[in-house]
Every structure is written in structure tokens, then in C-alpha cells.
Amino acid sequence: MAKNKVTRMVGVDVSARWLDVSRGASDEAVERRQFANTDGGHRELVRWVTQSGRPARVVLEATGLYGLDLALTLQRTRGVEVMVINPRASKEFAGACGQRARTDATAAEMLREFATRMAFTAWTPPSATALALRTIMRRVVSLIEMRVQEANRLHAVSVTEALPVVVRTDIRQHLRSLSRQILRLEQEARAIVESAPALCTRYRHLCSVKGIGRRSALMILAEVDVLPPDLTVRQWVAYAGLDPRPIQSGSSVRPPVHISKRGPAYLRRALFMPALVAVRRNPPVQQFAAELAARGKAPLAVLVAVMRKLLHAIYGMFQSDTDFVPDKFRQPARTAA
């Protein structure tokens, strides 16, 4: 950051076509501008926020792929720090500030206020390999969902012979096409993993857990490999939205504890089926689940606890570079301060 110059706080609201930007500092008025969400628009935005050689801190929401190129451009720019926040965090911040209406302009203002008032954590961009793996596996997840929907449609149109045969034929062809697409993308994902020794090792560790199949291992690896390497296991759990969120008020308001569900659902989804299988096939996981059930935990609460425990185990395997050790599964988790 440049010396003797007040850092400029910037909020960017990202949409598919436009970037609404609000900038300001303690010694200058707040200004707003709009830029195209293109390479040229990104360059114009960078020149504007760093005008007069000022350092800048930029906050934008994690809006999928629409803001990725901009975040990468800002991260590479000298004198600029970028923070990518969870949309839920910005929503809660806006509510705390009393903001009721939301437009692109007010969203940019709110993000600038977030940069001014809240602790700033610089964004760590994922590697190109990690980003490619995540993009491919998220596409696989989408195609699997499509295949389930088509299978349900086929079942619905097959209950009667009164409907045209051509519809059933078309759905079956689409199902076969989806299966081929899924297989091809998974082969591409495995090729990426095999080309990177570190990824290949982590993939092997994941497959050593009874309950985590090859597809689930790719899905889990795709989600956790983009995370910054200095995160603690508690931060992993929070990122996955598996952290408990108790609510208590006085002596009477004590509803059941639910998980926060913050962050993308992809990691929770990737852990669900391995947890379901591990509860039935993996002895230490079975024992852990049985103990929770004996304490009166509901079946879904037990499954969520197993998902969280599996994530702890995965973190431990990656940190120690070891395969799954059944005897360690039920030991208390060690978390960094």
C-alpha cells in the first residue's frame, strides 16, 4: 500500500452485465459509477478506484462466476486489496444498518460501508487447477440433478399407455446422453487430479474412507481444494455450513439446534451420501452414530453429525498426509486456536 495516502474503500455490486461501484475515503466524498462487466470495464474500474495513486480495499460478494474475473484482476493490481464475502454476511450487515430497499446502487454503497466498518480479510484466489476441478464437478452435480428429474419424468409417463411412445423414447435418449456427459466430465476431472501429485495424494486419502466412493471423492476434493491452506478445521466446518447454530432466550425459548447452512451447499451435498453409506458400512462411524442415537438424537441430526465428523477426519488426513485411520475417528478433534 502507498504511504501517506488514505486507503480508499470500494464496494462493487456484480451482475451479469454491469458493475455498480461506490468509492470513498475519510478525506474525500463518496462517488458512484457503473462499468461494464467485461475485460475493458474491469480495466476502467481499476483505473478509477486507484485514481491519484491511492491504495484501495475492494469488497464484493461471492456471486458465482460473474465476479471471478474481476476479483482476479483486482487481486493482481498493485495497491489494491480485494475481499470476497458471503452474500449472507452482506445481507445481515445491511439489516443491521437498517437498510430496507436493495438496488444495485444501494448494494454497492452497503459493500463500501462493509469495507469501512468490518474486519478486512484479503481474498486468496484458487489455483487454476483447483478452479478447473471445481467447475467440472459442479457441472457434474448439475447433470446428475437433471438425470434424476428426467428419470422421474420417465416414471410419470410410463404409468399409462395412453401417452405417446415418442415422449418415453425421447426421455430415454436424453437419460443416456446425460450419463455419457457425466462419464466424460468425470474422466476429465480424474485426468486433472492425476496430473497434479498433491491432488492425486489427497484423492487417494479420500478413497481410503469406507463410504467415500470415487465420484464423492472428486466432489469433496473439488470443494475443499479451493480453500486457503491456513484455515482451521472449524473454519472448514463453518464454510460447509455444518456448524451448529443454537438459539436461546431466557428459560423458555430453546428451539432445536440447527446447522447454519452458510456457504455453498456443494460440500454438504458431497458429504451427505458418504455419511449415509459410512453409517451402514464403516464400523467406527457406525459406533459413533449408534452412540448419538442412544442419546436420543434424531436420525437426521445423527447424519449431520457424521458429516461434520467426516469433514474433521478429512482435514486430519490432509494435514498429516495419511489415509483414514479407523481408531482415530472417534477421538476428540484437535483444532487450531
Buried b (16+ CB within 10 A) or exposed e, 158-175: eeeeeeeeeeeeebeeeb
Q: How confident is the model at residue 285 (pLDDT cuts 50, 70, 90)?
A: very high
- Reading the block at residue 110, the C-alpha cell is 452497503
What is residue 114's DSSP assignment? Answer: H
Q: Is the dihedral of CA 39, 105, 260, 265 positive or negative?
A: negative
Distance CA 202, CA 204 (A): 5
In the chain, the amino acid numbered 69 is: D
In the chain, the amino acid numbered 322 is: T
At which residue does the C-alpha cell 428459560 appear? 251
Least confident of 94-108, 128-142, 259-273: 94-108
CB neighbourhood size of 90 (10 A): 23
Distance CA 271, CA 253 (A): 31
In the chain, the amino acid numbered 73 is: T
Beta-carbon contacts of 177 under 8 Å, excluding residues fewer than 6 positions away, are none
Q: 196 vs 131, 222, 237, CA distance in Å?
A: 13, 13, 25
Distance CA 194, CA 192 (A): 6
At which residue does the C-alpha cell 464403516 appear? 282
pTM (global) more than 0.85: no
Reported as a single tens digit per residue, the pLDDT across 66-95 is: 888 999 999 999 999 999 988 878 888 888
Q: Classify 185 as helix, strand or coil.
A: helix
Distance CA 267, CA 304 (A): 12
Residue 4 · residue 95 · CB < 8 Å: no
At which residue does the C-alpha cell 458465482 appear? 64
* Percent of the chain residues topping a pLDDT of 90: 71
Q: Where are the alpha helices (DSSP H) in 241-298?
A: 266-281, 283-294
Half-sphere exposure for 274 (CA within 13 Å, toward CB): 29
CB neighbourhood size of 242 (10 A): 24
- Reading the block at residue 222, the C-alpha cell is 473439488
Mean pLDDT value across the chain: 89
Q: What is the 3-state secondary structure (H, E, C) of 130-153?
A: HHHHHHHHHHHHHHHHHHHHHHHH
What is residue 5's DSSP assignment? Answer: S
Give the pLDDT score at 336: 40
Give the pLDDT score at 62: 83
Is the pLDDT confidence value at 251 over 70?
no
Residue 206 · residue 220 · CB < 8 Å: yes
Give the pLDDT score at 253: 46
Strand stretches in the chain, DSSP E: 8-14, 18-25, 28-36, 56-61, 80-85, 244-245, 258-259
